[in-house]
Amino acid sequence: MIDRADKLTLLESAAFRRFLLALIQAGGVFETTATSADGRGLFLEGRRSLALEMLRSMDEVQPLPSPAGIPAQTLIQTLREQVQSAHKETAIDRRHDVYAELRDGD
């Protein structure tokens, strides 16, 4: 297992927080669990559980424990990294291609 000091070091890294967000998205944490009728329910739930377990593991080193075992602080920290690292549109970006929003994205 990863010790507390290693977890703190990882959470201080912006690159790791971006990796953690990619893991959350790939794990389908925010997607509804599939029904057993589609045959993939256990697979999708396993992915989701792994991503949540990773979040809970990182949440253990947060200064305050999260309520009810929900890894809220680590999730917020991870999502904040995503927002702060997103490209900010400038006036120059908009002038570059004034019709970009009108295209269908091909």
Q: What is the pLDDT of residue 69?
A: 73
pTM score > 0.85 for this model?
no
Distance spanning both ends of the chain, measured CA to CA: 45
Q: What is the pLDDT of residue 95?
A: 60
Number of separate domains in the chain: 1
Cα dist from 10 to 4, 13, 20, 59, 61, whole Å: 10, 5, 10, 12, 11
Question: Could you tell me which residues come within 8 angstroms of residue 75 by beta carbon, excluding any fewer than 6 positions away?
Answer: 24, 55
Tell me if 72 sits within 8 A of 60, measured CB to CB: no
For 62-75, how does the pLDDT look when each residue is reduced to its tens digit (9 = 90+)? 888 777 778 888 88
Task: Give the helix/strand (H/E) hosting 6.
Answer: helix 4-12
Supply the mean pLDDT for the chain.
78
Which tokens is 12 given?
């201080």
* pLDDT tier at 46, thresholds 50, 70, 90: confident
User: Can you give the residue range of the structural domain that contains 39?
Assistant: 4-102
Residue 102 DSSP label: G
